[in-house]
Amino acid sequence: MSKTIKQLSVFIENREGRLNEVLGLLGKNDVNIVALSLADTEDFGMLRMIVSDPEKGREILKSAEITAKLTEVVAMQVSHASGSLAKAMEKIVDGNINIEYMYAFANGDAASVILKSDNPQKVVEILETNGFKVWEADEAYKANQ
Amino acid sequence: MTAIPKEQWKERIRDPKIECASRDEMTALQSERLVETVKRVYENVEFYRKKMDDLGVLPGDIKGIEDIGKLPFTTKEDLRDHYPFKLLAVPNERIARVQGTSGTTGKLTVVPYTQRDVDIWGECVARALTMAGLTKEDRIHICYGYGLFTGGMGLDLGVQALGAMAIPMSSGNTKRQMTCMEDFEATAFACTPSYALHLAESMVEEGVVDRLKIRAGIHGAEPWTQEMRKKIESILHINCFDIYGLCEISGPGVAMDCIHQKGLHVYEDYFYPEVLNPVTHEACADGETGELVFTTLMKEALPLLRYRTKDLTDITHGTCDCGRTLPRISKFRGRTDDMKVIRGVNVFPTQVETALLAMGTVAPHYLLIVERENNLDVLTVMVEVDEHYFSDEIRKLDELKTKVGNVLKAALGVSVRVKLVEPKTIERSEGKAKRVIDKRDLS
Ligand SMILES: [Zn+2]
């Protein structure tokens, strides 16, 4: 079972209604969105999503001529104990891993964080040896359903 | 047949006295011919007499080729305005034939020739065929169209002058083309590069390639890429040559490339080429891109002074590896119509394309937008982000923006704003993308 998960990354222009179009397209085709983060710049936006079926999501967007790709990320479970995220980050930095970006999402009662790094496998290894839990792909895609 | 590698090529030169003349010899010949041409057009063509009078230039002011800059320009519109025979420099009865072109606008441009004009045209094509290694022993299959269009007729005249055998097929009917090419044992063929490729692919399908005797292809009349040339050459195992011409000046055979493919040799003893800055009209240095302008030096029926082709190229003087001293023009880089002047700098869309191509393996779709903000020209390049360029990291997309901006600034000499847009944002008309939008109101 894969411990890294596939994020659907989408390039969108900053124009009105574009985000809705992308989300609507996925919804209409029964691709559910588990987690979502939108990063904005002056002229374009970056939509990052964990969805129920990443491959299908990408195909749907591709056939609508929307630029999308799959990115390997790690979904870490964060316990409610204070400072646990900070501790995890510390261990990752100690392992000489560069975190490009991260965003949080709720999975039932548990909080989770998506981590994009230059070495996802190593991140999983570091987290697990230090007692943190990561979501397996199948669990992550089905979260909140 | 098999293509002949450059190393084993035996160069043939039809007129070494002209084609390998020293610069001084050529300048003397051109000067003598220009002086005579100017005198003749001033005396016989009202249009030029008026133009020269307006500029205050008399035939006596033109003492040699170095004075060419004093002469007026001629444009395609001038030819259309004087349709059909109002620029004729000889009495009507001396016209031996007419050829013409409908161009892209559909309006006809007609070009009259005297018998001597026709003979010189044939001589130029014969030089070109010789450059392709052909002799009187050869059988040349011509699948350019015959008619008003100069392609078929021009090649035919060249084959006659060479003393070879012409197979006047004209265009179309690919099956019959293949049958005749095989049955008549053609050793060379001439047509547009796109038709050559189509023909080559059809020959593979029919399995006739190995039965052919073809060893050379002469192609022109439309732009083609090096990739197309390589493809035709590798399918048919032949050498392909690029022939150039325009009916206003004569027809195919104004220039042709040799086996070394270092630009197209211009027959400058008949057609004097200038490459001019499209804005200032000053002569460009060798290697510098500008508009190609021709002056005919021997034409009788329709002599043209400084005819502006609107094609962008550069010129190189100096002896070629083939031994010829005829100057060489590069493959065209576009048309002056597409050029934009931005803050005094000439910008051609093709420069953008070349620069973007050099960045990676895939040429992104792009659109140039020229605007004026606070009396300053602003150039924005919209670049479509396809899967090839897309990254889920904003930092990398920002790097791409910076890189595109830097590459374009280096290539164009003006600052460029880069805007990344989604694929298919940029409108395409019939597969051909519009490359520039000028929003400046310069009126
Ligand atoms: Zn040469």
Concatenate the DSSP letters of all residues of B204-256 into one string: HHHT-GGG----EEEEESS---HHHHHHHHHHHT-EEEEEEEETTTTEEEEEE
How far is it, in rounded angstroms, from Cα B258 to Cα B202? 27
What gap in Å lies between CA B160 and CA B137, rounded to an integer? 12
Estimate to the nearest angstrom the gap between the alpha carbon of B327 and the chain centroid.
14
Specify the pLDDT at position B431.
45
Q: Would you say residue B428 has pLDDT above 90?
A: no
Reply yes or no on whether the pLDDT at B1 is more than 80.
Answer: no
pLDDT of A81 over the 90 cut: no
HSE-CB at B69 with a 13 A cutoff on CA atoms is 9
What is the distance in angstroms between the Cα of A9 and the nearest Cα belonging to chain B? 6
The angle at the Cα of B248, spanning B104 to B281, to the nearest 5 degrees, equals 90
When mean pLDDT is compared across B20-24, B262-266, B307-311, B432-436, the lowest value belongs to B432-436
Highest mean pLDDT range out of A107-111, B106-110, B430-434?
Answer: B106-110
Tell me which residues have their CB within 5 A of the ion that is ligand 1. B 258, 260, 320, 322, 324
Strands B239-246 and A33-40, how do they pair? unpaired
Average pLDDT over residues B351-368: 74
**Interface contact A49, partner B, CB < 8 A:** no
Looking at residue B104, its pLDDT comes to: 55
Q: What secondary structure does DSSP assign to B289-349, as a single string? A: -EEEEEEESS-SSS--SSEEEEEEE-EE-S--TTS--S-EEPPP-EEGGG-EEETTEEE-H
For residues B386-399, average pLDDT: 86
**How do residues B132-173 score in pLDDT, each as one tens digit?**
999 999 999 999 999 999 999 999 999 999 999 999 999 889
Give residue A145's pLDDT: 60
Task: Answer yes or no: are the C-beta atoms of B151 and B159 closer than 8 Å.
Answer: no
Output the CA B167–ligand 1 centroid distance in Å: 27
Residue B443's pLDDT is 52
d(CA A98, CA B364): 30
* Angle in degrees, CA A55, A61, A62, rounded to 5: 85
In this prediction the ipTM stands at 0.82
Nearest-angstrom CA–CA distance, B227 and A144: 54
Does the pLDDT of residue B196 top 70, yes or no?
Answer: yes
- Of B367 and B317, the structure prediction assigns the larger pLDDT to B317
**Averaged confidence pLDDT in chain B:** 91
Among the residue ranges A16-25, B5-14, B34-43, B123-132, the one predicted with the least confidence is A16-25
What does the alpha-carbon distance between residue B113 and residue A45 come to, in Å, rounded to a whole number?
63
User: Which of the pair, A38 or B366, is modelled with greater confidence?
Assistant: A38
Tell me the domain boundaries of chain A: 5-71, 72-140
Q: Which of A43, A66, A71 sits opposite B392 (nearest CB)?
A: A71
Taking the CA of residue A65 and the nearest CA in chain B, the distance in Å comes to 7
Determine the length of chain B: 443
Q: Which residues of B touch A68 (CB under 8 A)?
A: 390
Domain boundaries A5-71, CATH class: alpha beta
User: What is the predicted pLDDT for the residue at B430?
Assistant: 45
Residues of B in Cβ contact (< 8 Å) with A67: 385-387, 390, 422-423
Minimal CA–CA distance to A74: which of A108, A34, A120?
A120
Per-residue model confidence as pLDDT tens digits over B255-297: 999 999 999 999 999 999 999 998 889 999 999 889 999 999 9
**A residues 104-133 lying closer than 8 A (beta carbon) to B:** 116
Domains A5-71 and A72-140 equal at CATH topology level: yes
Across the interface, whether the CB atoms of A69 and B390 are under 8 A apart is answered yes
Q: Which of B74-88, B234-248, B374-388 has the lowest mean pLDDT?
A: B374-388
A72-140: CATH homologous superfamily? VC0802-like (3.30.2130.10)
Query: What is d(CA B8, CA B11) in angstroms, rounded to the nearest whole number?
Result: 9
- Chain A, residues 78-97, CB within 8 A of chain B, namely none
Task: Tell me, yes or no, if B423 comes closer than 8 A to chain A by beta carbon.
Answer: yes
Query: Does B392 sit within 8 Å of A67, measured CB to CB?
Result: no
**Predicted local confidence at residue A142, as pLDDT:** 78
Nearest to B178 by CA among B220, B208, B215, B154: B208
Is the pLDDT at B238 greater than 70, yes or no? yes
B39 sits in which H/E element: helix B23-44
Selected residue of A47, A67, A72 to mutate for chain B interface (largest B Cβ count, 10 A): A67
Domain architecture of chain B: domains with CATH: 6-23+110-335 (3.40.50.12780), 340-438 (3.30.300.30)
pLDDT single digits (tens) B54-109: 999 999 999 999 999 999 999 999 998 999 999 999 999 999 999 998 665 567 88
Of the partner residues A48, A67, A71, the one whose CB lies closest to the CB of residue B422: A67
